Amino acid sequence: MISRFKYTLYFIGILMLMTACHNRPKSIAPTTTTESSQDPSTPTDISSNTKFHSVVVTEILPTTKYIYLKVREGREEFWIATGKKEVKKGETYLYSGGLLKTNFRSEEHNRVFEKIYLVSNLISKGDHTNLAKTEPKSNSVADKRITQKENIPTHTEKEILHKGAITIAELLKDPGKYEGHSVEISGTCVKVNPNIMDRNWIHVQDGTQDDFDLVVTSNTLVSEGSNITMRAIVALNRDFGAGYSYDLILENGTLIE
């Protein structure tokens, strides 16, 4: 009887030990993003913050395909990464959006950045001088326009048939009807991705198709929140690379005054 009681106690002890092992806190290894898993030159326009950040470059770390920049915005210093381009220390640059990454590893520099922002649309302040710094003082389309570069063509030698003014809803109903033709779209500029692939990417909504963003590429830079009318050529199934792929897009847009 005593022997059987000892075996029972022994068995209960083993069960308690196994339960304690299973309930022990589990350690989770920290995840590290690397250059290969997230290319800083890939567009990362997912931030809801559409304001422009003005930063001064204080340190530059180049790599084969992109560059790391230590920048200062006000009193705050932090790192950003963007596609390889000519950047000068001490100069001011502008960007909007950006994707925050933590524990981001650079293989070429054998370094882990505790916090870094991946930016795809860094532009120099000199290229951005004519961008309005305040809200437009009037509602006229002419006042909404900011600047237009002359060295980027907004037309081709091919004769383009103009289809006139339409709504976004009309365009979405039968986009093939307008493919290769120019149309006029009036609406509100809700977002701008400036100076990417030598063009500005203007998101327009007119309220006729819920909150659908129609993207118009242009060498004209307009301010977010402005009411505009753009004339542009309808294109379907366009893939510009680097994540910029569209079933429907308007190209070579010009601002109608």
139 vs 228, residue with greater confidence: 228
Query: Among 105, 127, 149, which residue terminates a domain?
Result: 127
pLDDT score for 39 = 61
| Same domain (yes/no): 94, 148 | no
Span 165-180, mean pLDDT?
Answer: 93
Within a domain: 184? yes
Above 60 in pLDDT, residue 230?
A: yes
Above 50 in pLDDT, residue 181?
A: yes
| Same domain (yes/no): 151, 235 | yes
Q: Which CATH number fits the domain that encloses residue 179?
A: 2.40.50.140
The rounded mean pLDDT for the chain is 75
| Same domain (yes/no): 146, 89 | no
pLDDT tens for 84-140 read: 888 999 999 888 777 888 888 888 889 999 999 888 778 877 655 444 333 343 344
| Same domain (yes/no): 122, 152 | no
| Same domain (yes/no): 56, 160 | no
Backbone angles phi, psi at 37, to 5 degrees: -85, -20
Which of 44-48, 71-75, 137-141, 146-150 reaches the highest mean pLDDT?
71-75
| Same domain (yes/no): 175, 94 | no
Above 80 in pLDDT, residue 190?
A: yes
Above 60 in pLDDT, residue 15?
A: no
Confidence of residue 250 (pLDDT cuts 50, 70, 90): very high
Within a domain: 2? no
| Same domain (yes/no): 151, 242 | yes
pLDDT score for 32 = 61
| Same domain (yes/no): 243, 145 | yes
Above 70 in pLDDT, residue 175?
A: yes
Give the domain range for residue 146: 139-255
